[in-house]
Amino acid sequence: MSEDLTIIAGSKTEQYESLLPQIRGLLDGEPDLIANLANVSAALKEQFKWLWVGFYLVKGNELVLGPFQGPVACTRIRKGRGVCGTSWENALTLIVPDVDKFPGHIACNSGSRSEIVVPWIRHGEVIGVLDVDSEFADHFDPTDQEWLQKIVALIPV
Ligand code: SME
């Protein structure tokens, strides 16, 4: 496969439609977890230019920072804490239009205004989360939820 990503302009849906098969291609035949999470983070960052995009992985009773693109971030988040820990605890995607209004939001980066966190679920267990931060308020909606859930479901464990 080619390591070049085709970046397109267009609606959010058009951007995801272009990106998803490319991500599938990047993951195809590659079993290494770190390599795959790194490439998914990079592909999303390249297409959407979000402030921060990456993974936290469940290790014991904490989420631990995994591959990501963007500014340095908190390394450990306890279950039920912040947006990521709440998404993990409830096994639900969370869209936070204004991070300042989310009780317990963990401010890893002062530039973050809105956030979406998608749990990565295998065999009924949350094994990690995909976290995306934007410097713009109210940046994420159910379209992001739908496509990011599809993308996370593609990642082989
Ligand atoms: N804001 C997140 C913490 C992770 S950073 O945004 C990368 C939270 O509240 O869980």
pLDDT in tens, 95-129: 999 999 999 999 988 999 999 999 999 999 999 99
Q: Ligand 1 mean position to 133 CA, how many Å?
A: 8
Domain count, the chain: 1
Domain span holding position 111: 12-154
Residues within a 6 A CB radius of ligand 1 = 52, 73-74, 77, 82-84, 105-106, 108, 112, 115, 131, 133
pLDDT in tens, 56-110: 999 999 999 999 999 999 999 999 999 999 999 999 999 999 999 999 999 988 9
Number of Cβ within 10 Å of residue 50's Cβ equals 21
Domain-located, residue 40:
yes
Q: Is residue 61 part of a domain?
A: yes
What CATH number is given to the structural domain containing 146? 3.30.450.40
- Whether this prediction's pTM lies above 0.95 is answered by yes
What is the three-class DSSP state of 96?
A: strand
User: Is residue 5 a contact partner of residue 22, using CB atoms and an 8 Å limit?
Assistant: yes
Residue 31 lies in a domain: yes
3-state class (DSSP) for residue 157 = coil
